[in-house]
Chains A and B, each alone.
Chain A
Amino acid sequence: MKKSEPPKLAEKLLQWFCSESLYDEISGDLFELYQRRVKEMGKPKANWLYWFNVFMFCRPWAWKRTRSFQLINSAMFSNYVITSLRILFREKLYTTINLSGFIVGISSFLLCFLYVGYEFSFDQFLTDKEKIFRLDYFILKEGKRTQNTGGPVPLAATLSGEVSGIDDYVRIWSASQSYIASEETYMQENEVCFVDKSFFEVFSLPLLFGEKSKVLAKPNSIVLSKNSAQKYFGEVEPIGKTLKYKGYPAGEIELVVTGVMDNLPENTHLKADMLISLEGVKTEADNWGSFKPVYAYFKLSDATQEQKIESLLPAFKEKYLADRVHEDNYFEFDLINIADIHLNSRSRWQLKPGNSLDNLILFSCIGAFILLLACINYINLSAAGSISRSREIGIRKTLGAKRGQLVLQYLSESLLISFIATILAVALTKLAIPYLEKFAGITIFFDLQSIKTLSFIFGTAFTTGLFSGLYPALIASKFQPVKAIKNKVQTGASTYFLRKGLVTFQFLISICLIGFTLIINKQIDFILNHDLGFNKEQVVVIPYGDKEGEATLLNALNEQSFIKSVSISQSVPAYAGGYDGRLATTPTLAEPIQIRSIITDKAFADTYQLEFVEGRNFVKDMQSDTGAVVLNATAVEMLGFKNPTEAIGKKVRWSNYFDGYVIGVVNDFHLGSFREKIAPVILLNKPHWSWWKGYISVKMETGSSMQQNLETLESIWKKHQADISFRYFFTDKNFESLHQQDLKFRTMSRIFSAIAIMLACSGLLGITSYQIKTRSREIAVRKVFGAETGYLFLKLNKEIFWVTILSFVVAIPILFMLRANWMSVFAYQVEIDWWNFALAGILAVLLAVLVSAYHIYTLANTNPVNIIKNE
């Protein structure tokens, strides 16, 4: 009779767990029992019972035990550590390369982790953060959907009154040009905010003195930060003392200190040093037409209300902002959660500039790549080194070492070195943090007691060790003992290609980083040396708001011999303050255009040396010039004139109420950073309009002593403006600081690419020194047969040459992608051709050849007899 077969899978399972010595009898008994059961109760039930029986055997007494028994053996383990240490001390070059690589790699990775962690910690500490939202809006700007925030003054209260689900609201009105005085002299403060009384109820920020529901309830009350309390009163509890305020939006008022708050932490997007109550401030209270830097925050009754409220926003917009909507053709409100603001908001004007997730991903990738380079070094060196250690492996195998034990030995080696490196890397990171903090302007929390940080460090050390050690371990443990003892181990073609591939990959990363640094360098040089359309050198700008004393101050300044020209204007190039966007049109233009206006005087064009392409500048005190305007070339084009000549004498209507005529056209000049396109600009000759605040620009003669000039300026200022402290800035420095982020980025990429190339080269150095060892006999024989030193040198270098060429070829498209990606934020980009990258390639090849040249040259030059006689 034919036998029935028991379930295959169950048999497999039994075979897998059951000890070999027991397998035959057990499976035999089960087979016999199965046959009987099939006959008695049919196949399905017998199958089921067979499974049951197999499971019943799955007990420790029947398990395979040989492997698990021998792997963890404390005596052997200490032997592994001893051997590891011996090898580390014997192979000093490899150990240095590996250890330093790991230290640098792990520190970079750790710093990136800390930085990214810091960026993610923004506003996370606020209680109820999931319920707090800010109202942002989207408009179309140059065809792009652009995020913005701020809005009309009455918006927040109206919305929270009309829509249910909002528990509380608070407006933060950023008053960047405020003057504060405790005694006589006013000081300009940038971080003054006017806020609603609910501020401390919505944001859980700690108050040192005062009650959170009362501190801002009364008009003219002010809450100071600890710092500003110290600054103005020299104490931290100046409750009840008074301060004077001058500025927009409150005018001139007297303030009473009602509370002191802790200085705001770095990791919040809120930025305020002084909070003044909005109670009683009536400025623009009913004006829906003007968008101010008034940020509206809402605390919802729960987070799920967000969608409901967002669905009501279009109707709300139609009701109150119909004009605005039609003007821009596109306008959309959006609620953004407070915890998302820092990383996800693209709003241009907000309390603190945000960061982008892309940046963080880029940083994490770079950190991981650096660590990966160090791991590859270890893999390569250790895999290569295992051939020279083959005798040890052979002996161990002969003495009965299992493959698993050898793997464990190799892993304990790599783990040992990665853990030593981690300890040193943590120390290095501790040392590096102050520099990073200073450089990036952030505070990093490196708390070695936090579970998160510790587990990250431990995880990194463990993963690094495991990842680096696994491949060499698998290679070495595969050696056949007899061959290994005779030193006849040949690693196969696959491992050869893998190692070459890894070296190529290292060079690829290095070349990418070098190339990327070159791109950044070129773009930044382009920005800093580009003709801006105005002259930024030797210009000092002094913020100025007092219209009455203006003429006498300007006259006093003009008398100085070191001053070339003095101008007062509503805004100045390379500085964000005083931005004024209006509509402009001509009688023939279909749609008005958005234009940037600068109210100024005749001297503006002289001070910044603007170049007139057509027409003339304003003439001082000429009555007919009060209605004159000057346009830039972009404005001429956008207003529909064919060329500058045609524009002269034409009428331009500005901001719906002022009719001017064009008397001159200047070349385009950069008002902002290179990330922005040059806007159409209109210069208005209206210095006697009183409502605008301004900046005095002073152009100084070259060759005069800057220090002395500034002292003179200050003394003149004190004579005329005794009650306001003297402040100034330089236009060229301002322009640089507009690109501060890019400059920092350049420094970072320089450091990282230097680290990368260092790692790749040290890896190459190790590999060459190893190859030299294994190939010395071949070279000696070649020499005996008459090969020239030069020929051998080239032959040995050939491989390295091809490795770098290959990685260069692969790097070029990657670099073009990186270029396109990184440059996309700039409106003005430098041209970069592929041969610019060739520099990166040549640099890499040169470095590679240089690094390996010494070893190769020594070998190619030695007397072959010295090598062969040893055999």
Chain B
Amino acid sequence: MKGTHLGEFEEIVLLTVGILYEDAYGLAITDEIENRTGRSITISSVHKALNRLEAKGFLTSKMGGATEERGGRQKRLFSLTAYGKNALNEAKELRNSMYSAIPKVLWQQG
């Protein structure tokens, strides 16, 4: 069993799969991340992360329709598993709880 720890990039990919909902496949995810974060990322790193997340059980996938746009090749459509959604929630809650633990005075100091 691979570790369940979620890396930063993995978390972003997982979130993006959620955002794209029905149309989450490699290139679309890459585009979405680039748009939202403004980072330039390579498509292979996204594929690698997807691959890993699926192996860890956060994602599930099915092969989607082949379009002419893709030279007749199928796309792999990803969706979050219950475990994946859970992991996102946990990550969010961890973040929130840690954020709220920061003393208010810190923000006032500017």
> Is the pairing of A and B real?
yes
Q: Chain A interface (Cβ within 8 Å of chain B)?
A: 3, 22, 24-33, 35, 53, 56-57, 59, 61-62
Within 8 Å CB of B48, what residues of A? 59, 61-62
Within 8 Å CB of B43, what residues of A? 29-30, 33, 53, 56
**A32 CA to B68 CA in the complex, in Å?**
10
Can you list 19 A-B pairs, Cβ within 8 angstroms, ordered by A? A3-B68, A22-B47, A24-B76, A25-B25, A25-B73, A25-B76, A26-B26, A27-B73, A28-B70, A28-B71, A29-B30, A29-B47, A30-B43, A32-B69, A33-B27, A56-B43, A59-B44, A59-B48, A61-B51
Specify which of B30, B47, B66, B70 is in contact with A62 (CB 8 Å cutoff): B47
Tell me the B55-69 residues at the A interface (CB within 8 Å).
63, 66, 68-69
CB of B42 within 8 A of chain A?
A: yes
Within 8 Å CB of B75, what residues of A? 25, 28-29
Within 8 Å CB of A25, what residues of B? 25-26, 47, 63, 73-76
Which interface residue of A28, A31, A33 has the most chain B CB atoms within 10 A?
A28
Q: Interface size for chain B: under 10, 10 to 19, 20 to 34, or 35 or more residues? A: 20 to 34
Interface membership of chain B positions 39-54, coded 1 if the CB is closer than 8 angstroms to chain A and 0 otherwise: 0001111011001100
| Shortest CB distance B67–A (Å) | 9
**A590 CA to B40 CA in the complex, in Å?**
100
Dominant secondary structure of chain B at its interface with chain A: helix
With A3-B68, A31-B71, A59-B48 given, can you name 12 additional A-B contacts, CB distance below 8 Å? A24-B76, A25-B74, A25-B75, A26-B26, A28-B66, A30-B43, A53-B42, A53-B43, A53-B44, A56-B43, A56-B44, A61-B52
Asked if A29 meets B42 with Cβ closer than 8 Å, knowing A24-B73, A35-B69, A61-B51, the reply is: no
In this complex, what residue of B is CB-closest to A21? B76
Within 8 Å CB of B51, what residues of A? 22, 61-62
| Shortest CB distance B72–A (Å) | 8
Q: Are B68 and A28 in contact (CB under 8 A)?
A: no
Q: Are B44 and A31 in contact (CB under 8 A)?
A: no
Specify which of A22, A32, A56, A59 is in contact with B27 (CB 8 Å cutoff): A32
In this complex, what residue of A is CB-closest to B70? A28
Q: Are B26 and A24 in contact (CB under 8 A)?
A: no
Specify which of B25, B45, B71, B76 is in contact with A3 (CB 8 Å cutoff): B71
Specify which of A29, A59, A62 is in contact with B26 (CB 8 Å cutoff): A29
| Shortest CB distance A811–B (Å) | 61
Asked if A57 meets B44 with Cβ closer than 8 Å, knowing A24-B63, A25-B26, A29-B27, the reply is: yes
| Shortest CB distance A73–B (Å) | 22
| Shortest CB distance A27–B (Å) | 6
Q: Which 5 A-B pairs rank lowest in CB-CB distance, beginning with the nearest?
A: A28-B73, A56-B44, A25-B76, A28-B70, A29-B26
| Shortest CB distance B34–A (Å) | 12
In this complex, what residue of B is CB-closest to A26? B47
**A28 CA to B25 CA in the complex, in Å?**
10
| Shortest CB distance B25–A (Å) | 7
Within 8 Å CB of B47, what residues of A? 22, 25-26, 29, 57, 62
Within 8 Å CB of B42, what residues of A? 53, 56
Within 8 Å CB of A53, what residues of B? 42-44
Within 8 Å CB of B73, what residues of A? 24-25, 27-28, 31
Q: Are B26 and A31 in contact (CB under 8 A)?
A: no
In this complex, what residue of B is CB-closest to A6? B71
Within 8 Å CB of A30, what residues of B? 43
| Shortest CB distance B103–A (Å) | 43
Which interface residue of A22, A29, A59 has the most chain B CB atoms within 10 A?
A29
Q: Chain B interface (Cβ within 8 Å of chain A)?
A: 25-27, 30, 42-45, 47-48, 51-52, 63, 66, 68-71, 73-76
Within 8 Å CB of A24, what residues of B? 63, 73-74, 76
Asked if A29 meets B25 with Cβ closer than 8 Å, knowing A22-B51, A53-B44, A56-B42, the reply is: yes
**A143 CA to B30 CA in the complex, in Å?**
86
Asked if A28 meets B74 with Cβ closer than 8 Å, knowing A33-B27, A35-B69, the reply is: yes
**A61 CA to B44 CA in the complex, in Å?**
11
Within 8 Å CB of B74, what residues of A? 24-25, 28
**A28 CA to B70 CA in the complex, in Å?**
5
| Shortest CB distance B43–A (Å) | 6
**A57 CA to B45 CA in the complex, in Å?**
8
Which interface residue of A24, A25, A30 has the most chain B CB atoms within 10 A?
A25
**A56 CA to B40 CA in the complex, in Å?**
14
| Shortest CB distance A620–B (Å) | 109
Within 8 Å CB of B27, what residues of A? 29, 32-33
**A3 CA to B72 CA in the complex, in Å?**
11
In this complex, what residue of B is CB-closest to A3? B71
**A33 CA to B76 CA in the complex, in Å?**
15
In this complex, what residue of A is CB-closest to B50? A25
**A30 CA to B45 CA in the complex, in Å?**
13
Within 8 Å CB of B66, what residues of A? 28
Within 8 Å CB of A31, what residues of B? 70-71, 73
**A27 CA to B27 CA in the complex, in Å?**
11
| Shortest CB distance A248–B (Å) | 88
**A57 CA to B71 CA in the complex, in Å?**
19
**A24 CA to B65 CA in the complex, in Å?**
11
**A765 CA to B38 CA in the complex, in Å?**
79
**A25 CA to B76 CA in the complex, in Å?**
6
**A61 CA to B54 CA in the complex, in Å?**
13
**A25 CA to B48 CA in the complex, in Å?**
12
Within 8 Å CB of A57, what residues of B? 44, 47
Within 8 Å CB of B68, what residues of A? 3
**A705 CA to B51 CA in the complex, in Å?**
101
**A22 CA to B42 CA in the complex, in Å?**
17
In this complex, what residue of A is CB-closest to B26? A29
Within 8 Å CB of B70, what residues of A? 28-29, 31-32
In this complex, what residue of B is CB-closest to A5? B71
| Shortest CB distance A10–B (Å) | 13
Within 8 Å CB of A27, what residues of B? 71, 73
| Shortest CB distance B105–A (Å) | 46
**A30 CA to B46 CA in the complex, in Å?**
12
**A53 CA to B30 CA in the complex, in Å?**
13
**A25 CA to B25 CA in the complex, in Å?**
8
In this complex, what residue of B is CB-closest to A33? B27
**A26 CA to B76 CA in the complex, in Å?**
9
**A57 CA to B42 CA in the complex, in Å?**
10
**A24 CA to B66 CA in the complex, in Å?**
10
| Shortest CB distance A45–B (Å) | 15
**A805 CA to B1 CA in the complex, in Å?**
69
**A3 CA to B68 CA in the complex, in Å?**
9
**A684 CA to B75 CA in the complex, in Å?**
108
Within 8 Å CB of B45, what residues of A? 56
**A299 CA to B26 CA in the complex, in Å?**
75
**A61 CA to B43 CA in the complex, in Å?**
14
In this complex, what residue of A is CB-closest to B77? A25
Within 8 Å CB of A56, what residues of B? 42-45
Within 8 Å CB of A33, what residues of B? 27, 43
**A29 CA to B27 CA in the complex, in Å?**
5
In this complex, what residue of B is CB-closest to A57? B44
| Shortest CB distance B64–A (Å) | 9
Within 8 Å CB of A3, what residues of B? 68-69, 71
**A522 CA to B70 CA in the complex, in Å?**
81
**A207 CA to B30 CA in the complex, in Å?**
80
Within 8 Å CB of A62, what residues of B? 44, 47-48, 51
Which interface residue of B30, B44, B51 has the most chain A CB atoms within 10 A?
B44
| Shortest CB distance A12–B (Å) | 14
**A22 CA to B47 CA in the complex, in Å?**
9
**A163 CA to B5 CA in the complex, in Å?**
83
| Shortest CB distance A57–B (Å) | 5
